[in-house]
Amino acid sequence: MQIDANPFPYHFDIAHTALVLIDMQRDFIEPGGFGETLGNNVALLEAIVPATQAVLAAWRQAAGLVVHTREAHAPDLSDCPPAKRNRGNPTLRIGDVGPMGRILVKGEPGSQIIDALAPVAGELVIDKPGKGMFYATGLHETLQQRGITHLLFGGVTTEVCVQTSMREANDRGYDGLLLEDCTESYFPHFKAAAIEMIRAQGAIVGWTAPSPALLAALHSG
Ligand code: TIU
Render pLDDT for 9-22 as a digit per residue (tens, 0 to 9).
999 999 999 999 99
Q: Which residues contact 180 (CB under 8 A, 6 or more apart)?
A: 195, 208, 209, 210, 211
pLDDT band at 182 (very low <50, low <70, confident <90, very high): very high
Question: Percentage of the chain surpassing pLDDT 90?
Answer: 100
Cα-to-centroid distance, 139 and ligand 1 (Å)? 19
Residue type, position 126, single letter:
I
First to last CA, the chain: 7
For 189, residues 6+ apart whose C-beta sits below 8 A from its C-beta are: none
Residues present in the chain in total: 221
67 pLDDT band, cuts 50/70/90, is very high
Question: Counting beta carbons within 10 angstroms of the beta carbon of residue 161, is it exposed (0 to 12), middle (13 to 18) or buried (19 or more)?
Answer: buried
Residue nearest atom 10 of ligand 1, based on CA coordinates: 161
Distance of alpha carbon 129 from alpha carbon 218, whole angstroms: 33
27 CA to centre of ligand 1 in angstroms: 10
CA of 25 to the centre of ligand 1 (A): 11
CA distance 27 to 24: 8
Average pLDDT score over the chain: 98
Residues 128, 23: Cα–Cα separation, whole Å: 9
Q: What integer pLDDT is reported at residue 34 of this predicted model? A: 94
Considering the entire predicted model, what is its pTM?
0.98
pLDDT in tens, 189-220: 999 999 999 999 999 999 999 999 999 999 99
- Cα 5 vs. chain centroid, distance in angstroms? 19
Q: What is the pLDDT at residue 221?
A: 74
pLDDT digits (tens, 9 = 90+) for 72-124: 999 999 999 999 999 999 999 999 999 999 999 999 999 999 999 999 999 99
Q: Which residues contact ligand 1 via a Cβ below 6 A? A: 23, 28, 38, 71, 131, 156-157, 160-161, 186
pLDDT number for residue 100: 96
Reduce the DSSP state of residue 207 to 3 states and report it.
strand
**Helix, strand, coil percentages for the chain (3-state, nearest 5):** 40, 25, 35
109 DSSP 8-state letter: G
pLDDT for 113-168, tens place per residue? 999 999 999 999 999 999 999 999 999 999 999 999 999 999 999 999 999 999 99
Ligand 1 atom nearest to 186, measured from its CA: 3
Residues 6+ apart with CB under 8 A from 2: 9, 10, 11, 217
Residues assigned a catalytic role: 23, 128, 161
How far apart are the CA of 181 and the centre of ligand 1, in A?
Answer: 17
Say whether pLDDT at 4 is over 80.
yes
pLDDT of residue 149: 99
Which one of 34, 161, 178 would you pick to mutate in the ligand 1 pocket, going by the greatest count of ligand atoms within 8 A of its CB?
A: 161
